[in-house]
Amino acid sequence: MAKILVIYHSQQFGNTRILAEALAEGAREDGAEVVLINTNEHRVTLQEFIDADAVALGTPDYFSYVAGTIKTFFDDIYQWDQAGEPVKGKPAALFYSHGTGGKVREVLEQFANRFFEQVGEMVGSGRPIGDDARKRCTALGRELARKIK
């Protein structure tokens, strides 16, 4: 069974978690095994990352930038790559939540494009998270799962 890691940061309002769970639901509907990792609670290990066939990455917009724990994840990938680990080229879906900005979109895409093959259209949502954003994330999860079948 194809395995997807949904890596995201969520805390105060839980908006990014709502999007992560919707994406995971879509991927599961299409037959993928999904592991959700909130980087605010758990740092992704190299083995967890290598064991996954694809990833989904989500962050809130913090001052037009990714959450610190998501930046740490990208720093870890960079270090693993420098050490010769096979970390480049996995399919990845991207999503983010924001209060009023949404400028994190550009930063997340720049980081992700350095290591991953982006699948589908990035989903962004202001808060509160509405049904449309949930549906788009669910569809993105299905698309990601199909990519790795």
Q: Give start and end residues of each alpha helix (H) in 62-102.
A: 68-82
Q: What is the pTM of this model?
A: 0.97
Per-residue pLDDT of the chain (149 residues; tens, 9 = 90+): 999 999 999 998 999 999 999 999 999 999 999 999 999 999 999 999 999 999 999 999 999 999 999 999 999 999 999 999 999 999 999 999 999 888 999 999 999 999 999 999 999 999 999 999 999 999 999 999 999 99
Q: How far is CA 129 from CA 15, 43, 44, 98, 123, in A?
A: 6, 25, 26, 10, 11
For the chain, domain boundaries: 3-147
Q: What fold characterizes domain 3-147?
A: Rossmann fold (3.40.50)
**How far, in Å, CA of 23 to CA of 69, rounded?**
20
Burial class (CB in 10 A: 0-12, 13-18, 19+), 123: buried
Q: Looking up tokens 């064991």, which residue turns up?
A: 51
